[in-house]
Structure 1
């Protein structure tokens, strides 16, 4: 993880230091403070090293980013997590995990996700430092349905340790590193209720799913041929009715009753591009209509921002590419007519 690595034996230098939850050498306090944000659990110190627990935590809407160490070798037994999935990736040291009927090791570039309905116990090595993503169970299951076509009611299961040193795993860790580094610089990316924070959380969920579990996609599940025209009609009607709204692709897929991947595949088959590009063209066409039929108070800036174009230079560039003239030229020609 490069920048996420910290120097040996220096818990005060843990990532997310700007968001401390607690630091203590008291076993009962450490157990109680962790239980407040995770769940009740048994915590025991093994070996002779003293407990030096520290927990930094960044809260979002449906997930939290955590960095936790106990300093000492510890046994942790929470039982079933119930309400959340927990991704674990040791930045230092390693951990032995028993989850359900499986046992596995994480560390040295390998991480894993605990399923919420399995009995869990773990042993963390001395000086183990873990980067963890705690994710609301319903939010992750909904993302798996929307993005990958996981059937309604089908369980979302993670199976053991996965290497995250290349490909999608490396990209996912890079995104987590970006969130942490920006937070340490003072930028508030999560937990602010903003569209950026919402999209960033969604991207983290999708990145975790891509790097940790194989999911069936809608096309492999026998998606009916008659579904695509209806899907497209619902999606395009929703887009036209909400041209001024801050839509994300997940909103469109939900309105069309399908997954993001199925929606993207259907739009590429029909239009040769994704749904967000089609949405942009719809907005440009509406802008042309408004500028071609102006009122006394019509302004290019108002038309653009009312349709979700907040970067006026980019709006003008797309507009000229589509219509062969600038928005201002369209408006001036209409006012002279």
Structure 2
């Protein structure tokens, strides 16, 4: 299965042909050139085919996209990667991945992520061609915290092969294919200092996390929700008159917008901004029900962030069964 087509317009027949890093049949040179961008490792040819190593690489700021083949069946033993996570997806052939925790196979539409602290050893099949995403450890951790609500200090770990033929996996591969296709027409989609490049990198990190996080991480995020709710609702109550955005609430709760929205839907059946609106309506009712002689509906509404008075009145009537001015008049008469 070749989920990403091999580029027909580059001489090596590999994607990212416009960004070659090296091509060699010498084992020591291949080991040394790969070590420059990854880490020291042991490399051995274990099959009968001659080594024909080729490596194309597109660098960004926090990640790089790589296409690598050794031609021959090869054993690679890098040990712990330490500084980075490494997503691997065979475009051709397959690979066996071994760690102290166990082993798994990738290929035929499945890929996996190597954790920085895993003691890794791999065997790549003959003519295996791997599409790889090398990601700075801190950058992926930060994305997992910001976008998925991974608690600070919690470990981010991946646990084996995952199919990428459908759903979020297919979308993630589609984004990688887009970036690679842009290089074929001469673009530099991950150019350092480029706003588009930074956005593409962030989207790639989110796509990887969506396609690779397993049930354990999902469960951890669910257990995290009650604390998120307490922090978010407390912040909202203390800032009813402030011009809050959903990002402000997520930041105050120490989580991501996505996790915040999921927690509120699970608890209230609606998003956090709807809950904030109802909190503001409740505060408006309290102020109009206990007015000072100078209290006016307009000042109460605008002080709570309702600048469209017609919409404020509509929401107020739906919630309390009367217009805000009726609440104020009744309170002033009593």
- TM-score between the two structures when normalised by the length of structure 1: 0.71
8 Å contact kept, 1:63–1:201 = yes
Name the structure 1 match of 2:122. Answer: 122
Name the structure 2 match of 1:296. Answer: none
1:216-265, Cα deviation, whole Å (9 max, x unpaired): 4655312254312355578996978xxxxxxxx97985476332323445
Q: Match for 2:256 among 247, 255, 259?
A: 259
* Distance in 1 (alpha carbons) for counterparts of 2:247 and 2:67: 30
- The secondary structure found in structure 2 opposite 1:54 is strand
Distance 1:189 1:69, change over 3 A: same
Name the structure 2 match of 1:164. Answer: 164
**Is 2:206 the counterpart of 1:174?**
no
Unmatched 5+ stretches in structure 1: 241-248, 274-321, 323-337
* Distance in 2 (alpha carbons) for counterparts of 1:160 and 1:237: 46
* Distance in 2 (alpha carbons) for counterparts of 1:175 and 1:12: 22
8 Å contact kept, 1:57–1:66 = yes
Unmatched 5+ stretches in structure 2: 276-310, 312-334
Name the structure 2 match of 1:79. Answer: 79
- The secondary structure found in structure 2 opposite 1:12 is coil
Q: Counterparts in 2 of 1:141-290, with a 5 A limit?
A: 141-214=141-214, 215-216=217-218, 218=221, 220-221=223-224, 222-232=226-236, 253-254=250-251, 257-264=254-261, 269-272=271-274
* Distance in 2 (alpha carbons) for counterparts of 1:238 and 1:64: 39
Distance 1:50 1:260, change over 3 A: same
Distance 1:18 1:252, change over 3 A: farther
Distance 1:253 1:199, change over 3 A: farther
Name the structure 2 match of 1:246. Answer: none
1:25-54, Cα deviation, whole Å (9 max, x unpaired): 111110000000000000001121111100
Distance 1:126 1:225, change over 3 A: closer
Report the alpha carbon displacement of residue 151 of structure 1 after superposing the two structures with TM: 1.3
Number of aligned residue pairs: 265
**Is 2:55 the counterpart of 1:52?**
no
* Distance in 2 (alpha carbons) for counterparts of 1:137 and 1:112: 16
What is the root-mean-square deviation of aligned Cα atoms in Å? 2.9
* Distance in 1 (alpha carbons) for counterparts of 2:240 and 2:119: 42
Point out the structure with max Rg over C-alpha: 2
